Amino acid sequence: MTATPTAAELDAADPLAPLRDAFHLPGELYLVGNSLGALPKSGPEYITTEFERWATLGVEGHFTGELAWQDYHTLVTDQLARLVGAGHDEVVAMNGLTVNLHLLMISFYRPTPERHKVLIEAHAFPSDHFAAESQIRQRGFDPAESLITLAPRSGEETLRGDDILSAIAAHGDELALIMLPGVQYYTGQVMPMAAITRAGHAAGAVVGFDLAHAIGNIELDLHEWNVDFAAWCSYKYLNSGPGGVAGAYVHRRHVADPSLPKLLGWWGTNTSTRFEMTTEFDAIPTVESWQLSNAPVLAMAALRASLDLFDEAGGIAALRAKSERQIGFFDRRLTEVLGDRVINITPTALEERGCQFALRVAAGDGKRVYEELEAARVLCDWREPDVIRVAPVPLYNSFADIERFIEILDGIVQ
């Protein structure tokens, strides 16, 4: 191999390359796993198994065998825990992402007249912004006073880590909650989660992260970082399919804390007495006590298919190692072929980025470029006002995909 290997050489040397065949990849190039992960070919089998169990066992499927639906959600707990760096008792698959953000804010946003502010980013994903805003109103506060939104410096694209930390310190006494993304959906920036958590705790605030674009993309260590809570969806890098079941993490020091306010449902109560149908809530001493309803088994079956492939890949560390090689190759080819015709606004340092690139066309006709990519069946996405997002996903994208993308882009950009 030469100092600047070709895509073919890199693919030949990639031990994870065969995993690509485990996925259906629509279009000419599928580079949009940041929005909707690809379907594992095994997915329909996992779901069919549950249909068959339903057809043959009916209601007894709830309690029969290793796949008993009553405990079906626990089948993914360890796999999710490994992806976020947490313990078995700290992670649960349930609901949708925004639902989980609300459930967790009910527990972890406990404003007082002195300490009522919530820190989010100015360019937060709208759902996260709405969730924070409505939680503030629910507690009788005014978002105009209580919602702090953090924007990059003028002329800059991404938040500086130091600016986040000084904002936390500046609002210290009034700050109740910090809720930031692990990876920013627009720019692809990885937030310094450990440092933010330390600074938040030093200021007396609770710290939660939205991991929608982080889980399955970068390595996470939530427990070690002392993060209070987190939530994620699974249809992006976890390939669980549209509307797939989301997840939640709560640090061990909080999971059995009876003083935390919480919305209750029967799936949060002790499993050994749940079906006695008593109305005395006996909280499961893990994050499972946040569960409300019985698990959406069909959606979880699809998620299992994908999580098994993460295991087959050797876990997130192996995938991230490949991802870093792909990021480097993408950077190099983008510069060599497109020069300054396309600007990548994603941070350049590896520790500040995941696999997603946020590209801006220098000539200002990004929307046209995106439409021509679409016409060429290159699946990526456009985010207003002016960014094309593309993500080489190490589970199923090859180095050849990157090379081909650069080649197509070169033919479209003036």
Q: How far is the CB of 302 from ligand PLP (least distance, A)?
A: 15
The structure tokens listed for 218 are 């970068």
Q: How far is the CB of 36 from ligand PLP (least distance, A)?
A: 10
Q: How far is the CB of 212 from ligand PLP (least distance, A)?
A: 3
Q: Which is nearer to ligand PLP, 82 or 102 (CB)?
A: 102
181 binds ligand PLP (CB under 6 A): yes
Tell me which of 69, 109, 125, 249 binds ligand PLP, using CB under 6 A. 125
Q: Which is nearer to ligand PLP, 237 or 329 (CB)?
A: 237
Q: How far is the CB of 248 from ligand PLP (least distance, A)?
A: 12
Q: How far is the CB of 181 from ligand PLP (least distance, A)?
A: 5
Nearest CA among 319, 346, 32 for reference residue 188 = 346
Say if CB 216 and CB 236 are below 8 A apart: yes
Nearest CA among 228, 248, 243 for reference residue 290 = 248
Q: Which is nearer to ligand PLP, 90 or 128 (CB)?
A: 128
Q: Which is nearer to ligand PLP, 23 or 125 (CB)?
A: 125
Say if CB 244 and CB 235 are below 8 A apart: yes
212 binds ligand PLP (CB under 6 A): yes
Q: How far is the CB of 48 from ligand PLP (least distance, A)?
A: 25
96 binds ligand PLP (CB under 6 A): yes
Tell me which of 23, 30, 46, 185 binds ligand PLP, using CB under 6 A. 185
Total site size for ligand PLP, rule CB under 6 A: 12
Binding window for ligand PLP (CB under 6 A); candidates: 5-13, 96-104, 280-288, 386-394: 96-104
- What is the distance between the alpha carbons of residues 287 and 266, in angstroms, rounded to a whole number? 14
209 binds ligand PLP (CB under 6 A): no
210 binds ligand PLP (CB under 6 A): yes
127 binds ligand PLP (CB under 6 A): yes
Q: Which is nearer to ligand PLP, 165 or 238 (CB)?
A: 238
98 binds ligand PLP (CB under 6 A): yes
The 272-311 site mask, x for binding ligand PLP (CB under 6 A), equals ----------------------------------------
- What is the distance between the alpha carbons of residues 193 and 198, in angstroms, rounded to a whole number? 9
Q: Which is nearer to ligand PLP, 69 or 125 (CB)?
A: 125
- What is the distance between the alpha carbons of residues 177 and 204, in angstroms, rounded to a whole number? 9
- What is the distance between the alpha carbons of residues 241 and 7, in angstroms, rounded to a whole number? 29
97 binds ligand PLP (CB under 6 A): yes
Q: Which is nearer to ligand PLP, 69 or 185 (CB)?
A: 185
403 binds ligand PLP (CB under 6 A): no
Residues that bind ligand PLP (CB under 6 A): 96-98, 125, 127-128, 181, 185, 210, 212-213, 233
